[in-house]
Amino acid sequence: MAVTFFGNHTPYLVEVNAYLLARSGQVEQSLGSLRALIRSLTPPAFAWQADTVARAKKLEDLLCESSDLAVAQLEQWELETIRALMLEQFLSV
């Protein structure tokens, strides 16, 4: 199994941390977290790991191209999640 935990942090927390770093403009730190996440879940043993790796690689590619593109992708994922959870009523207008 290809899961490597980061101290007390699960891969989910490492992914969230990488996203927060990207949104705050800390590109190099975000890339480091994403790359460590990808390494820890490769090869994926479960579907959720493959999904996580795919998201991490997409964000890594976008960060290498443009931090603005990466932030736009994160915002899009956030909106998709809000819609999927039917939480639109809680969006600030």
pLDDT, average across residues 19-46 = 96
Instruction: Kindly report the pTM of this predicted structure.
Output: 0.84
Predicted confidence (pLDDT) per residue in 48-85, tens digit? 999 999 999 999 999 999 999 999 999 999 999 999 99
- The whole-angstrom separation of Cα 51 and Cα 89 is 28
Residue 22: name the closest of 79, 55, 77, 68 by CA.
68
Beta carbons of 43 and 53 less than 8 angstroms apart: no
Q: Within 10 A of 67 (CB to CB), how many other CB atoms are there?
A: 16
Query: Is the distance from CB of 74 to CB of 59 less than 8 angstroms?
Result: yes
Residue 7 pLDDT greater than 70, yes or no = no
